[in-house]
Amino acid sequence: MTGAPIRVLVVDDHTLFRRGLTALLGGDARFAVVGEAADAGEAQRHAASLQPDVILLDNHLPGVNGVDALAGLREVAPQARVLMLTVSEDERDLAAALRGGAQGYLLKTADSDLLASAIERAVRGESTISPEMTGKLVTAFQTLHTGRDASAPAPEADPIHSLSPREQEILSHIARGASNKEIARALDIAETTVKIHVQHILRKLKLSSRVQAAVYAAARAP
């Protein structure tokens, strides 16, 4: 392993689950759990003072749901990536998480390898969705975008037409779940070039994450 461990803040109101997760991550040299929180207020205070790399956020918290706490957490710790870690398989919660800027959405049934991979991908600006939730992405996309029928032909005003051919090519790779490194290899271009293209794609489509971009592209696939 090279470099400093990824600094993680664990937010969950169930003490046993939170401590078990902390112990699991603490046994992996890639991660350092720098704090725990049992509710949204405590999470925001810790996020502000600790500035973690990744926040693992449960949705069902006392008082304020996790998805409703996203904005506050991103405000006090703008560099932190937030991964939802929840029992909810409701596409409305998934949509709310994506709208709020969550980097990924994992179910608590996820195995330790998927969780570890998701944390590492989050730090790289990549996204992970639990396999059980992938079938609900298009429904979540419809919820995100004013109920428009995702199966309807895209109108000319659709911002996808503002993308260059290369950006559209990269978007298609994002829709298949490819990382920046994988896209760079497939297109024989530099990874930094891919990163710049991705930033342009998100800006032009008025989206805030790769997950939203993937759903956007999947909803328009023939």
pLDDT at 140: 64
Residue range 142-201, pLDDT digits in tens: 655 544 444 444 444 567 778 888 888 999 888 877 888 899 999 999 888 888 888 888
pLDDT at 185: 92
Fold classification of 6-139 (topology level)? Rossmann fold (3.40.50)
- Whether 137 and 105 have beta carbons less than 8 Å apart is answered as no
pLDDT at 14: 92
Strand partners, 6: 31
What ranges do the domains of the chain cover?
A: 6-139, 145-219
pLDDT at 204: 85
- Report the Cα–Cα distance between both ends of the chain, in Å, rounded: 42
Residue range 207-222, pLDDT digits in tens: 877 777 877 777 666 5
Same fold, 6-139 and 145-219: no
The span from the CA of 96 to the CA of 17, in Å, is: 24
**How large is the average pLDDT for residues 97-125?**
90
pLDDT at 90: 84
**Half-sphere CA count of 222, side-chain side, radius 13 A:** 0
The span from the CA of 189 to the CA of 170, in Å, is: 11
Residue range 36-90, pLDDT digits in tens: 999 999 999 999 999 999 999 999 888 888 888 998 999 999 999 999 999 988 8
CATH number listed for the domain at residues 145-219: 1.10.10.10
pLDDT(122) > 50: yes
